[in-house]
Structure 1
């Protein structure tokens, strides 16, 4: 399995369009990273609907919509470099569609099966087109043993290749558990990997990566003693908002006002 470095030196947009993912030309500032990590750890200790646990466990699996009630997370949404990257890759003004933190506890964090994010956004929310982008921020070092994201490079150009199901009607928790509603079958992913090389997305804490809504991806169980937390900011084109989303607002943001980047004072 090939391994990526935090920065690969290729043009950001051209790499994104060709492979469906790219390393950002910047990292999160250490002070901001520390603040976000602190807030994530504090939120993880609270009892809120937005806090999701591993099945049959009290181990936190994910946090959702933190920007709606936490100032540090809300400020991150407007980070100038992050907003510029999202606008560059989407090609027009964007709004925040989804904010989540996926956490894999040491030796307990479970896998995410092969899937495409756009399958959920199209079937469950009614997003018209995959004109959105995921910006992933490593809150911890991500290495081969703690459950890194694996992407099938270039698979974003294939459209939806999974189950093709209509709206599931399931409880939204089936969209965030290890038993996902919309998946790409293992045998299909193996076949796709012949033409679309698997790449593990690795990097230190603070590294930033962008990946396309239609790219086929998965992540393995955390078999190490190290936590793996990755924060995902999903920005959608302002002209691509779902007309009538039904899932909770902490999963699908209702405010479609384009994000205005904060004035950088550093």
Structure 2
């Protein structure tokens, strides 16, 4: 079977128009109204305030500390900054009942089902921590490029939900997106190293567009930034270009990051890697969330 989205190549090729729709469901399938669905289809993202209520937030912030303290220092699900502070913790929904409850909130799960037009499962989940002064950013990338190349995700039928647990300001490393970039797949140059995830989760150097490509995309579509109070959620398409700067302020930033994949889009063998990534990065037990 030919690969509709070739990437990790030895030479540059032209960007590829997306084959799939960005919105698979209809207004009658969930809580989003047509205007919101049309916005997501056109821009590739949607901000949803009050996704997690104020009364849940203190316990969730405390839960982040508990999870970090309970895990062994050498647990592979814990990703650390070069200086030693925790950058990400994967599978928090399996480590915490409070996080698992967030997945099933009426403000979360029905939105994922509506956007993807099917039952869904958690492809990947993590807690992202960006402490004050030391938190480093995430370089520009499309998540689908990685999930396709390294996890064997066949189609662009996944969506991410980033739920803020702290205030997102323009100056403390909040997420930036290139609106509309999800309509185009940008093939990347450079073969996937063995066990690329060992380093890419700290600093991604493979599977990122070159500077000329990024400049053209931003010149065409601009940059939007996700800011707002705790409890807000940013939903964005799997193929949307996004990234974040480092946090040199005293104000920490943290979020729960959930990736929903359609049960009709189950993973196969990697398209551009020699082996599968671990289950905590790419769940292959496509059990629908109920």
Would you say 1:34 and 2:58 are equivalent positions? yes
Corresponding residue number in structure 2 for 1:77: 103
1:236 to 261, 278, 287: 261
Corresponding residue number in structure 2 for 1:5: none
CA contact (8 A) 1:162 1:185 kept: no
Deviation at 1:171?
Answer: 3.7
RMSD: 1.8
Corresponding residue number in structure 1 for 2:170: 144
Give unmatched runs, 5+ long, in structure 2: 1-32, 271-275
CA contact (8 A) 2:51 2:107 kept: no
Query: Aligned partners of 1:162 and 1:33: how far apart in 2?
Result: 39
Would you say 1:175 and 2:205 are equivalent positions? no
**Residues 33 and 58 (structure 1), Cα distance of their counterparts in 2 relative to 1, 3 Å cut:** same
Q: Which runs of 4+ in 1 moved over 4 A?
A: 164-167
Corresponding residue number in structure 1 for 2:144: 118
Secondary structure at the aligned position of 2:38 is classed as helix
Residues 71-115 of structure 1 deviation map (CA, whole Å, 9 limit, x = unaligned)? 112222222220011011111111111101121110111111111
CA contact (8 A) 1:123 1:165 kept: no
CA contact (8 A) 2:51 2:108 kept: no
Deviation at 1:44?
Answer: 2.3
Query: Aligned partners of 1:38 and 1:236: how far apart in 2?
Result: 28
Give unmatched runs, 5+ long, in structure 1: 1-8, 261-266
Corresponding residue number in structure 1 for 2:41: 17
Matches within 5 A, 1:49-64: 49-55=76-82, 57-64=83-90
Query: Aligned partners of 2:107 and 2:195: how far apart in 1?
Result: 37
Deviation at 1:31?
Answer: 2.4
Query: Aligned partners of 2:196 and 2:139: how far apart in 1?
Result: 18
Query: Aligned partners of 2:34 and 2:87: how far apart in 1?
Result: 33
Secondary structure at the aligned position of 2:55 is classed as helix
Would you say 1:256 and 2:256 are equivalent positions? no
Corresponding residue number in structure 2 for 1:213: 238
Q: TM (normalized to structure 1)? A: 0.88
Query: Aligned partners of 2:187 and 2:87: how far apart in 1?
Result: 24
Secondary structure at the aligned position of 1:215 is classed as coil
Secondary structure at the aligned position of 1:96 is classed as strand
Corresponding residue number in structure 2 for 1:89: 115
Query: Aligned partners of 2:58 and 2:189: how far apart in 1?
Result: 40
Corresponding residue number in structure 2 for 1:130: 156
Query: Aligned partners of 1:180 and 1:231: how far apart in 2?
Result: 24
Q: How many residues align?
A: 250
Deviation at 1:223?
Answer: 1.5
Deviation at 1:166?
Answer: 5.5
